């Protein structure tokens, strides 16, 4: 039973005697060898058969080793080339390595040195083949993800058009019934219709939250320099109605300029600030703070409040879609906002975490990776 050869070697040398001796020696060491005195014949063989290594003489009359290696790599880019050269042409051998050869060996050969070079060359070829296979898997996985994204877009379209329409009907007809038949309905019937209407509204909010998550995954990241303080002030202006009839202190301190996606970071502060206003509604004097500090060479941003807070033992649910730490009767919302915030922060290369205590407020901290100015 024949043993599997260590590798398939393509050997090219215009000196027939030297070529035969090299082929015989390497066959005795467990390699399969194919020897040629003409470079054109070697290239023709490479077109028909797979080889692992190319050993070629550097100085040949028909085609030198550098030209042969370049032609061989066009046929098989994963082929590993080794130059054989005399002492006087080492500088040319270095040139060959710059052209794609992995290594060179000097004539006359020492078997131990030759075998060591072959061993290294085979290891490099194996790495190249594994890298090629990995690239192929990545390419296939990318194609799968693109298909999944297209399916997600189709699903989002279905949610947007097919589910929202019947919800509008439920909402509209239940309101019409309450208005037109109120005199004929028992109080209990009115309450039931009110619950139907509230459930339809709640379902519509959940669908909008789902669509927001879907859109976020497809929205490209467009980083640019931006004034974070101005962006936060815009959000506070848009939330001005939240202050009506309340005592609210808002402190914004020392926000530096940074680099990030303006629309996405605007959404981060919109969600965090709206939460701060929402969860401080029960406080006689609400205090909301926005700022940052430097730690370990990175900027840590925060939004904190003195509101309802939460129990930190449930903190792992904070960023899970549709998970909420407060009853819907106490605070409105879908449980999507913080998930969106986390995904935006992650897309910027940062991280986000929270600290809180029940009835004593909450603080959300985040970084922006390499997005800082």
Write out the DSSP string of 141-209.
HHHHHHHHHHHHHHHHHHIIIIIHHHHHHHHHHHHHHHHHSGGGS-HHHHHHHHHHHHHHHHHHHHHHH
104 lies in some domain: yes
Instruction: Domain of residue 156: give its range.
Output: 149-218
> Among residues 218, 247, 277, which one ends one of the domains?
218
Q: What angle is formed at CA 91 by the lines to CA 86 and CA 93, rounded to 5 degrees?
A: 60
User: Based on the structure, what is the number of domains in the chain?
Assistant: 3
pLDDT of residue 323: 60
* Same domain for 356 and 238: yes
* Same domain for 178 and 273: no
pLDDT of residue 373: 46
* Same domain for 243 and 205: no
Which residues sit opposite 12 in a β-bridge?
A: 36, 56
* Same domain for 352 and 300: yes
119 lies in some domain: no
pLDDT of residue 172: 87
Distances (CA, A) of 132 to 126, 137, 138, 142: 10, 9, 10, 15
The secondary structure of the chain in percent helix, strand, coil, rounded to multiples of 5, reads 55, 20, 25
* Same domain for 316 and 236: yes
Q: What angle is formed at CA 34 by the lines to CA 33 and CA 39, rounded to 5 degrees?
A: 135
* Same domain for 342 and 296: yes
pLDDT of residue 217: 63
pLDDT of residue 32: 95
33 contacts 27 by C-beta, under 8 angstroms: yes
Q: Which residues of the chain are under the pLDDT cut of 70?
A: 1-2, 87-91, 93, 157, 160-161, 214, 217-219, 314, 321-335, 370-373
What is the CA 270 to chain-centroid distance, rounded?
25
> Among residues 218, 237, 265, which one ends one of the domains?
218
Residues 6+ apart with CB under 8 A from 353: 364, 365, 366
Angstrom distance (rounded) from CA 68 to CA 140: 33
pLDDT of residue 74: 93
pLDDT of residue 1: 40
125 lies in some domain: no
* Same domain for 231 and 362: yes
Token readout for 346 is: 């992650």
Residue found by looking up tokens 């061989």 in the block: 72
Distances (CA, A) of 86 to 45, 82, 91, 142, 312: 26, 13, 10, 48, 73
* Same domain for 87 and 50: yes
121 lies in some domain: no
Distances (CA, A) of 254 to 184, 245, 259, 290, 299: 61, 28, 16, 9, 11
Query: Whole-model pTM?
Result: 0.55
């Amino acid at each position: 039973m024949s043993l599997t050869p260590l590798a398939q070697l393509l050997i090219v040398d215009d000196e027939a005697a030297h070529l035969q001796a090299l082929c015989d020696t390497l066959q005795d060491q467990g390699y399969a060898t194919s020897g040629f005195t003409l470079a054109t014949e070697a290239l023709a063989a490479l077109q028909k058969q797979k080889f692992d290594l190319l050993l070629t003489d550097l100085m040949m009359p028909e085609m030198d080793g550098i030209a042969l290696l370049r032609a061989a790599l066009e046929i098989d880019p994963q082929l590993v080339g080794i130059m054989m050269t005399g002492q006087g042409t080492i500088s040319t051998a270095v040139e060959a390595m710059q052209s794609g050869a992995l290594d060179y060996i000097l004539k006359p050969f020492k078997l131990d040195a030759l075998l060591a070079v072959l061993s290294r060359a085979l290891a490099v070829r194996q790495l190249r083949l594994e890298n090629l296979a990995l690239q192929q898997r990545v390419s296939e996985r990318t194609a799968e993800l693109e298909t999944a994204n297209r399916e997600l877009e189709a699903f989002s379209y279905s949610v947007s058009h097919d589910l929202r329409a019947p919800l509008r009907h439920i909402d509209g007809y239940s309101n019409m019934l309450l208005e037109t038949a109120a005199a004929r309905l028992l109080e209990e019937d009115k309450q039931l219709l009110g619950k139907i209407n509230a459930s339809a509204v709640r379902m519509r909010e959940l669908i909008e939250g789902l669509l927001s998550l879907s859109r976020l995954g497809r929205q490209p990241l467009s980083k640019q320099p931006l004034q974070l303080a101005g962006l936060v002030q815009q959000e506070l202006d848009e939330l001005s109605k939240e202050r009506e009839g309340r005592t609210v202190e808002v402190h914004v301190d020392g926000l530096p300029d940074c680099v990030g996606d303006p629309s996405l970071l605007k959404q981060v502060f919109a969600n965090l600030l709206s939460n701060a206003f929402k969860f401080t509604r029960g406080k006689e004097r609400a205090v909301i703070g926005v700022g940052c500090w430097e730690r370990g060479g990175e900027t840590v941003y925060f939004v904190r409040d003195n509101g309802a807070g939460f129990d930190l033992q449930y903190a792992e649910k904070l960023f899970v879609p549709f998970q909420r730490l407060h009853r819907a009767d106490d605070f409105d919302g879908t449980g999507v906002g913080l998930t969106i915030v986390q995904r935006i922060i992650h897309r910027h290369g940062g991280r986000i975490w929270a600290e809180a205590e029940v009835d004593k407020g909450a603080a959300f901290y985040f970084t922006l990776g390499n997005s800082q100015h």
